[in-house]
Amino acid sequence: MSKSMIPVRVASVRDVAPKIREFRFTAVDQALPAFSAGSHVMVEMQGAEKTYRNAYSLMSDPADISSYGIAVRLQDESRGGSVFMHTQVQEGDVLNIAPPANLFAPHWAAKKHILIAGGVGITPFMSYLPEMKRRNADFELHYLYRSAQTGAYRQQLSEALGEKYFSYDSDHGQQCIVHQLLAQLSPGAHVYICGPESLIEAVKTEAATLGIPAGIIHYEEFAAPKPGKAFTVSLASSGQQIAVDGESSMLEALEEAGVEVANMCRGGVCGQCVTGVKEGIPEHRDDFLSAAEKASGQCVMPCVSRAVTDSLTLDL
């Protein structure tokens, strides 16, 4: 994995909301690759005790690859990554990033795009908007935030988008009625949600109630892997034993031990890191494997999932 990483220089750092900090990256010795609207990059952070790897949406215009922009929300229950970005990273620093990957591209055949952002979930849409403008696509942006914490870029979005922009500041009692929003959609509309799990679930549930097909609802959630009880991973090939502490993900523990596992989203959605299970029972926490695959217990997504049993033997 390390050989495909790209070094980038932190060209600027600025606060764009009380808890959101924006970082601009420029090339060090190799040009930044082109990317498409909705892409993300995985940023590697060399902490004092461990290496953090978090995926962040690119929020800059895909037509301009002279720099990349990401915005990081300081997480209340940070596992270290967002605290590192907020307290340790300064202008001039060099970080390693993985090349952009896209799991949240707009469905360009849609007749209308309904973008729903929750807090820092505005970031992927920042890359959608210039592209939608160039393609003359019909869209609406619904932006839900708490102005005491998030709500980055709302001034510029309001000015640039005019009547296509709808904002809901829950710190000022403004609520988005998801039912109303969905009930007025006509055929050809596609809905995109980026935000907390609760927002995604609310939209999915309302859509199902209204009889709206699940296939027009697209979402991206970069939930950090949630902690759990500690367990041990055994590698079938070598018998090597690797301890996974309660705070680390299985993937992180494997990486710390020098075991490379292909991965991309690190959030249980893309399917890249799927790994065979030889012994033990996995505790599935991903959105990728089917119910039947989960029930079979023969594979696991180490980026978010853990173990029910005290040890798990992986086909590695």
Partner 1 sequence: MQTNADKPELTLNPGVKSRPQYPPVSLNPAAQCQVFIARKNTTGDKAGALLKPLMDEAEKSEKSLNIIPLVVGEDGDVISMSQLPQTISSLPLASSFYLAGTEAFIWDVAKLICEAGFIMEQVHLLPPVNNERRLFCTHCYAITEPVTHSPAVCSGCGRHLLVRDHFSKIHRAYVGVQIDAEDPADLPEESEELC
Binding footprint of partner 1 on the chain (CB under 8 A): 110-111, 185-189, 208-216
Q: How far apart are CA 122 and CA 19, in angstroms?
A: 14
Q: Which two three-digit tokens encode residue 161?
A: 């988008």
Strand runs labelled E in 119-273? 139-145, 165-169, 189-194, 217-220, 231-235, 241-244
In the DSSP assignment, the letter for residue 63 is T
Q: Are 146 and 119 in contact (CB under 8 A)?
A: yes
Q: How far is the CB of 297 from partner 1 (least distance, A)?
A: 26
Q: How far is the CB of 161 from partner 1 (least distance, A)?
A: 23
Q: How far is the CB of 190 from partner 1 (least distance, A)?
A: 9
Q: 234 in helix, strand or coil?
A: strand
Q: How far apart are CA 219 and CA 199, in angstroms?
A: 10
Q: How far apart are CA 43 and CA 8, in angstroms?
A: 10
- Residue among 179, 283, 182 nearest 229 (CA): 283
Q: Which two three-digit tokens encode residue 196?
A: 């907390």
Q: Which two three-digit tokens encode residue 273?
A: 């890191």
Q: How far is the CB of 127 from partner 1 (least distance, A)?
A: 24
Q: Which two three-digit tokens encode residue 27?
A: 């090339």
Q: How far is the CB of 193 from partner 1 (least distance, A)?
A: 17
Q: How far apart are CA 84 and CA 82, in angstroms?
A: 5
Nearer to partner 1, 160 or 181 (CB): 181
Q: 60 in helix, strand or coil?
A: coil
Nearer to partner 1, 1 or 208 (CB): 208
Nearer to partner 1, 28 or 210 (CB): 210
Question: Which H or E element spans position 160?
Answer: helix 154-161
Nearer to partner 1, 161 or 185 (CB): 185
Nearer to partner 1, 211 or 258 (CB): 211
Strands 101-102 and 51-57, bridge-based pairing: unpaired
Nearer to partner 1, 116 or 300 (CB): 116
Nearer to partner 1, 43 or 212 (CB): 212
Nearer to partner 1, 41 or 110 (CB): 110
Q: Are 71 and 54 in contact (CB under 8 A)?
A: no
Q: How far is the CB of 109 from partner 1 (least distance, A)?
A: 9
Q: How far is the CB of 295 from partner 1 (least distance, A)?
A: 21
Q: How far is the CB of 149 from partner 1 (least distance, A)?
A: 34
